[in-house]
């Protein structure tokens, strides 16, 4: 247990608790961003809606402001939880009182309140202290979503650099196929404590008592990360060309001249992608149908599609990478993940920053289903996570061998190989080649950052999945580097934690 001296105890006892109206410091834009509804900020500002008036909106008002049902359901839930927090002023200082009442809590306040950012060990201590307090009088106590939400909110108020989403994200269901499970460090600690109680015999059986985690959702029914592609397609204008069918037929039978391929590819975007989004069209069939994407320049056809589908996100990666790269290298050095690096070699530092990502986040189980009944669980190591993101080989001759090895390994677990990056790295750590692997086709890219950027764009265009073992790493790239959010995104506590550690506002 963390102990502090009597002089420090006196010091902490004189600390003033946070003002009870700190919630008011957060603007309506801040709340909408934290809820993943930033697209509606202009509309809310246009209608002069602030935090106070937000709680006065009628159902009709919400329907007018947020016409999409899933988004409106999410907003309604968040408003209810926010109202519960702001309606009881004394509750806003409750967590501060809990921390101040024990040496462990006082130690956390003394060490981290001024800086505002906790390390992972401190986060575990904090969650352990909170859950211990919550269950101290009743081991069977049911902790509802609203309580987890409140505690997570108060953590972010006391420790200013901490994100509430690290500690709790409520369960949400927009439709049978659109569900997100509750998650967060507080919920993890609560579940672990219950398992300990069961093992020791304090409680007899485990029931899903936490209302926030009562979802029966199964990941295999969750939409693919790029299902939003279908929404992007729906907003595209169809080609005005009267010969669209002829152009599609030409693309199915020709690969040159390349200038004509590019021209026809652009004017047939909506028709092709609608075809790809249909249930009967697999990625493999799509590659067979349109032969040009099997050529070395085929990746650039997919990038054209992304630019048309997501015109506001084409350059986001390049805009954000320099700052995020420096932050990643800094934290990786502090954790001893990077020792010596040639700062003058830009691509070497790029690779170091990118490959540090799997080691800066915790891993989670991958579930696959065999024969429709038996589930298998695989907890990939961080090295395996890295291989699902950027695989490194020593020579170009090993590329084909590595692709075969990876495909065979995934097939044994009934998992499909998804797009990924391969880098050929020499013994002196210089990169001699970089490839994207999609549908057994290898596309060579000029730099490692271009490879990662293009790979994610291709995943979105092809409506593919992120590799199961590295999906949280790709989600970080999507959220932080592309600033691209969709209602189908899976939330990862590990990603939220790293975002908080890096001091990034999303």
**SS3 assignment for 435-480:** EEEECCEEEECCCHHHHHHHHHHHHHHCCCCCCHHHHHHHHHHHHH
- Kindly provide the b/e burial profile for residues 269-302, where b requires at least 16 CB atoms within 10 angstroms of the residue's own CB: bbbbbebbbeeeeebeebbeebebbebeebbebb
Q: Residue 240: its pLDDT value, please?
A: 58
Q: Residue 23: its pLDDT value, please?
A: 44
Tally Cβ neighbours within 10 Å of residue 416.
Answer: 13
Q: Residue 506: its pLDDT value, please?
A: 66
Contact 463, 229 (CB under 8 A): yes
Query: What SS3 state is found at 160?
Result: coil
Distance of alpha carbon 115 from the chain centroid: 25
- Which residues, including other chains, have CB under 8 Å from residue 454's CB and lie 6 or more apart? 299, 302, 303, 436, 443, 445
Segment (H or E) for 370: strand 366-370
Pairing mode, strands 420-425 and 366-370: unpaired
Both tokens of 215, joined, read 């979802």
DSSP state, residue 374? E
Segment (H or E) for 18: none
Q: Residue 321: its pLDDT value, please?
A: 95
What is the Cα Rg of the chain in Å? Answer: 25
Both tokens of 212, joined, read 């926030």
Q: Residue 9: its pLDDT value, please?
A: 33
Contact 358, 389 (CB under 8 A): yes
Please state at what angle helix 269-277 crosses helix 244-253, rounded to 10 degrees: 70
Q: Residue 55: its pLDDT value, please?
A: 75
Q: Residue 332: its pLDDT value, please?
A: 93
Whose structure tokens read 């506002």? Answer: 505
Whose structure tokens read 């024990």? Answer: 102
Q: How far apart are CA 312 and CA 338, in angstroms?
A: 34
Q: Residue 173: its pLDDT value, please?
A: 60
Pairing mode, strands 420-425 and 390-393: parallel
Reference 308, options 239, 388, 383; nearest CA is: 239
Q: Residue 116: its pLDDT value, please?
A: 84
Distance of alpha carbon 387 from the chain centroid: 18
Contact 327, 412 (CB under 8 A): no
Contact 455, 279 (CB under 8 A): no
Reference 292, options 238, 241, 250, 236; nearest CA is: 250
83 upstream amide cis, omega within 30 of 0: no
Q: Residue 235: its pLDDT value, please?
A: 61
How does pLDDT run along the chain (506 residues), one tens digit per residue? 233 333 333 333 334 444 444 444 578 888 898 888 989 999 999 888 888 778 778 888 898 899 998 889 889 888 887 776 665 443 446 888 899 888 888 889 888 887 888 988 899 999 999 999 999 888 888 888 888 888 988 898 888 888 888 898 887 665 555 566 788 899 999 988 988 888 888 887 644 433 333 333 333 333 344 455 666 666 666 655 568 899 999 999 999 999 999 999 999 998 998 888 877 788 999 999 999 999 999 999 999 999 999 999 999 999 999 999 999 999 999 989 987 788 888 999 999 999 999 999 988 777 665 544 556 678 889 999 999 999 999 999 999 999 999 999 988 888 889 999 999 998 877 899 999 999 999 999 999 999 999 999 999 999 899 999 999 999 999 999 999 988 788 888 899 999 988 988 76
DSSP state, residue 423? E
Residues 24, 27, 32: CA angle, nearest 5 degrees: 125
DSSP strand E in 151-285: where? 172-175, 178-180
Q: Residue 266: its pLDDT value, please?
A: 92
């Amino acid at each position: 247990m963390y102990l502090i001296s009597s002089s420090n105890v006196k010091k902490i006892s004189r600390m003033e608790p946070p003002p009870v109206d700190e919630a008011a410091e957060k603007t309506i834009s801040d709340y909408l961003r934290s809820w993943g509804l930033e697209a509606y900020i202009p509309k809310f500002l246009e209608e002069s809606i602030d935090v106070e008036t937000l709680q006065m909106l009628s159902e009709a008002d919400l329907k007018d402001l947020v016409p999409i049902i899933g988004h409106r359901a999410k907003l309604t839930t968040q408003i209810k939880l926010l109202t519960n927090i702001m309606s009881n002023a004394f509750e806003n200082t409750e967590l501060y009182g809990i921390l101040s009442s024990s040496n462990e809590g006082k130690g956390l306040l003394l060490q981290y309140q001024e800086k505002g950012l906790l390390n992972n060990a401190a986060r575990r201590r904090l969650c352990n202290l909170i859950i211990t307090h919550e269950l101290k009088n009743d081991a069977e106590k049911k902790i509802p979503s609203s309580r987890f939400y409140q505690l997570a909110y108060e953590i972010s108020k006391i420790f200013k650099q901490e994100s509430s989403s690290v500690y709790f994200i409520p369960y949400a269901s927009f439709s049978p196929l659109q569900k997100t499970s509750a998650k967060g460090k507080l919920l993890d600690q609560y579940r672990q404590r219950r398992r300990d109680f069961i093992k020791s015999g304090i409680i007899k059986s485990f029931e899903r008592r936490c209302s926030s985690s009562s979802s029966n959702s199964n990941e295999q029914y969750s939409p693919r990360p790029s299902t939003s592609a279908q929404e992007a397609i729906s907003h595209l204008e169809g080609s005005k060309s009267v010969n669209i069918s002829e152009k599609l037929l030409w693309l199915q039978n020709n690969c040159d001249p390349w200038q004509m391929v590019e021209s026809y590819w652009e004017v047939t975007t909506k028709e092709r992608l609608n075809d790809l989004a249909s249930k009967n069209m697999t990625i493999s069939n799509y590659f067979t149908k349109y032969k040009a994407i099997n050529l070395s320049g085929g990746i650039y056809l997919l990038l054209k599609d992304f630019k048309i589908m997501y015109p506001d996100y084409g350059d986001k990666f390049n805009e954000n990478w320099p700052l995020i790269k420096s932050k990643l290298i800094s934290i990786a050095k502090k954790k001893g993940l990077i020792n010596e690096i040639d700062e003058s070699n830009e691509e070497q530092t790029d690779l170091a920053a990118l490959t540090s990502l799997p080691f800066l986040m915790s891993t989670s189980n991958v579930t696959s289903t065999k024969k429709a009944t038996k589930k298998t669980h695989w907890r990939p190591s961080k090295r395996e996570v890295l291989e699902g993101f950027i695989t490194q080989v020593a020579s170009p001759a090993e590329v084909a061998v590595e692709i075969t090895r990876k495909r065979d390994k995934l097939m044994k677990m009934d998992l499909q190989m998804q797009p990924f990056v391969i880098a050929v790295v020499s013994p002196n750590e210089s990169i001699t080649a970089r490839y994207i692997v999609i549908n057994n086709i290898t596309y060579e890219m000029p730099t490692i950052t271009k490879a990662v950027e293009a790979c994610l764009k291709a995943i979105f265009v092809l409506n593919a999945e992120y590799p199961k073992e590295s999906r949280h790493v790709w989600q970080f790239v999507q959220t932080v580097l592309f600033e691209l959010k969709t209602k189908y995104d899976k939330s990862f506590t590990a990603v939220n934690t790293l975002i908080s550690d890096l001091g990034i506002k999303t």
